[in-house]
Structure 1
Amino acid sequence: SLTEEMQELADTLHNTCVDETGVGEDVIENARKGSFADDDKLRCYMKCLMDQMACIDEDGIIDVDATIAVLPEEYQEKGENIIRKCGTKVGANPCDNAYLTNKCWYETDPD
């Protein structure tokens, strides 16, 4: 599970990106459970989170190594395979890339 520090960081990022995009909490909750709404605010929320962690550039290309580096240690090995396999899923715009890539991670490993 997330350490307290990581949880605080996650909450801060979450709040920043909710403020920035206006996405509904219910939409985020559903996405966490694997139900990705067709919602531009959700797309940009995902990009915002990745932006905050320096895991995506302004063109919406995922920095695979940076993304792996932010994973908690116990997930690194499993996560690395998934993140490398998905790479950047290219959609209509950078927010869409973030969304499609997140979806790919989830579909590759629903846990």
Structure 2
Amino acid sequence: MQVVAIFALLTTLVTLTMCDNPDFKANIMKCMEETKISRDELKAFYANGSKSADAKDNIKCYMKCMMEKMGHLKNGVFDDASAARSLKNWPQLKDHQAEVDEAIQDCKKEKGANDCETAFKITMCLKEHKAALQS
């Protein structure tokens, strides 16, 4: 089941090649530039399973940047309504909204020492939901 995987994909470099939205592609590039992260660093992080222990600050801040640009993180607070609205537009999630809503509600409570850490914790929480749904 790919329920929350789509949310995780929103913050990956893979989306750059899969998404036809030029604004989204521009946001990816802006966030990469702002956080001084390279394509290779992102690919390596995701190729290694996106483990929390492997995440450097620039990866965490890249996630924050993307979440802010998508309207899912505002002033360090996860906007669950905005995330839910975005995800409802994904055809792959049409029949899985209850699972997506549950994951969003659970993960919105995550809080880190700073906004980058908060964005990262939310993303990792959603990743855990995805893993639980697939098992």
TM-score, with structure 1 as normaliser: 0.81
Q: Which ranges in structure 1 are unaligned for 5 or more consecutive residues?
A: none
Query: Looking at CA atoms only, which structure, 1 or 2, has the larger radius of gyration?
Result: 2
Residue number in structure 2 paired with 1:96? 117
Q: Secondary structure of 2:29's match?
A: helix
- Find the counterpart in structure 2 of residue 64 from structure 1: 80
**3-state SS of 1:70 partner:** helix
Structure number with the bigger relative contact order (C-alpha 8 A, sep ≥ 6) is 2
- SS of the residue corresponding to residue 80 of structure 1 reads helix
Deviates more, 1:76-85 or 1:25-34: 25-34
Q: Paired residues, what number?
A: 109
Q: Report which stretch shifted further, 71-80 or 83-92.
A: 71-80
Instruction: Give the equivalent residue in structure 2 for 1:105.
Output: 126
Asked whether the 8 Å contact 2:37–2:58 carries over to 1, the reply is yes
In the superposition, the TM-score normalised over structure 2's length comes to 0.68
2-structure distance, mates of 1:70, 1:57: 15
Report the equivalent of 1:41.
58
How far the C-alpha of 1:31 sits from its partner, in A, is 4.2
Identity of paired residues, percent? 24
What is the RMSD of the two structures over their aligned residues, measured on CA atoms? 2.4
- Residue 15 (1) aligns with residue 15 (2): no
